[in-house]
Amino acid sequence: MPETAKRDAAVETFFAATNADIRHGGNQAFYAVDADYVQMPPFETFEAPEAYYSTLGHETHWARHPERLDRSFGRKRWGDEGYAQEELVAELGAAFLAADLGLSPEPRDEHASYIAHWLEGLRNDRRFIFQAAAHAQRAVDYLHGLQPSTDEAAV
């Protein structure tokens, strides 16, 4: 990322208000459900701030935790239908968040591999996309609900 690339204060404030445990290091982004934290590569390793925030937005997986929205889709292993459903929810959630936060979503390398899983899910269940979109909207609404109200912000 160019040295002139800056963090977006409003987006940083949004994610900070979720109180998610966001850790930085390594070269992969993921949500560890059992340990309940989001792992992100360092900000500086992304090509642009939008790529960092798109990836962080994808980690709306965080909202699936049993103490939050309790979403599992019956996932048993990597690549199964439950996995595909959760990844689609996270991708749609990231796109919804990007629109809400005024960001341009950035395509990620793993998008191509996800598409095959999504297509399988769509073949098996016509409601797949609609259910995923509803869960994604619920996750985004949950994150927005964690933001301080405008009354609290004015105090």
pLDDT digits (tens, 9 = 90+) for 121-146: 677 777 888 999 999 999 999 999 99
Which DSSP string corresponds to 37-105? EEEE--GGGSSSHHHHHHHHHHGGGGGGSTTTT---TT--STTSHHHHHHHHHHHHHHHHHHHHHT---
Any residues with CB less than 8 A from the CB of 72 and at least 6 apart, and which? 64, 82, 86
Q: What is the per-residue pLDDT across 40-68, written as a single tens digit (0 to 9) for each? A: 999 999 988 999 999 999 998 999 999 99
**Residues above pLDDT 70, as percent of the chain:** 81
Q: What is the pLDDT of residue 137?
A: 97
The average confidence (pLDDT) of the chain is 86
Q: List the beta bridge partners of residue 39.
A: 23, 30
Report the C-alpha gap between 93 and 140 in whole angstroms.
6
19-38 mean pLDDT: 95
Q: What is the pLDDT of residue 107?
A: 64
Residue 37 identity: Y
Instruction: State which of 51-55, 80-84, 142-146, 148-152 shows the largest mean pLDDT.
Output: 142-146
Report the C-alpha gap between 87 and 102 in whole angstroms.
22
pLDDT of 114 > 70? The answer is no
